[in-house]
Amino acid sequence: MFKLRVMKAFSIILVIFTLGYVPLTLGDVVTEGKSLTFDRKKGNCLACHAIEDGELAGNNGPPLIAMKARFPDREVLFNQIWDPTANNPNSYMPPFGKHGVITREEINKIIEYLYTL
Ligand code: HEC
């Protein structure tokens, strides 16, 4: 009897979780990536890079365009954002990942967005 009640409670909880779970679509990930890219307290990529739709962009870094064609290897792009100094010790692009400004997961969202440019 007790076991049955526990199982019933468990299945109700399971149903609630299943109903509450809305899977993230690629579109959502791209939208999140874009806001992380533009957020002045997160990526702040606009401080140095011209990006489509971005206002008041700096031009210390190259414009972020044709990203998929120029960075077919996702890992190269990831590493540039994680720690640009690994590839170019003189880079003054901040090592966002290494310094913990943005997480691995956030960089992956940013990359999904960059690949739409
Ligand atoms: C303080 C300025 C600065 C900021 C902020 C910045 N970058 Fe950069 N970025 C640079 C510079 C300068 C370069 C040129 C190459 C180098 O020095 O590594 C560069 C290069 C790049 C490249 C290689 C581009 C190419 O055409 O070779 C990518 C990709 C890139 N940055 C992405 C980003 C992203 C994404 C962000 C935000 C998370 C960002 N950058 C924020 C300065 C910056």
117 lines ligand 1 (CB under 6 A): no
Amino acid making up residue 9: A
Copy the structure tokens of residue 88: 């170019």
49 lines ligand 1 (CB under 6 A): yes
Query: What CATH class has 26-114?
Result: mainly alpha
Amino acid 19: pLDDT: 65
Amino acid 86: pLDDT: 94
**Ligand 1 center to residue 92 CA distance, Å?**
8
Q: Is the pLDDT of residue 16 over 70?
A: no
**Ligand 1 center to residue 26 CA distance, Å?**
24
- Alpha carbons 105 and 78: distance in angstroms, whole number: 11
46 lines ligand 1 (CB under 6 A): no
Q: What is the CA radius of gyration of the chain?
A: 20
Q: How far is CA 106 from CA 43, 70, 77, 103, in A?
A: 9, 21, 13, 5
Cβ(117)–Cβ(67) below 8 Å: yes
Protein residue with its CA nearest to atom 24 in ligand 1: 62
pLDDT tens by residue, 63-79: 999 999 999 999 999 99
Q: Is the pLDDT of residue 13 over 90?
A: no
Amino acid making up residue 77: L
- Mean pLDDT confidence for 106-116: 97
In the chain, where are the structural domains located? Answer: 26-114
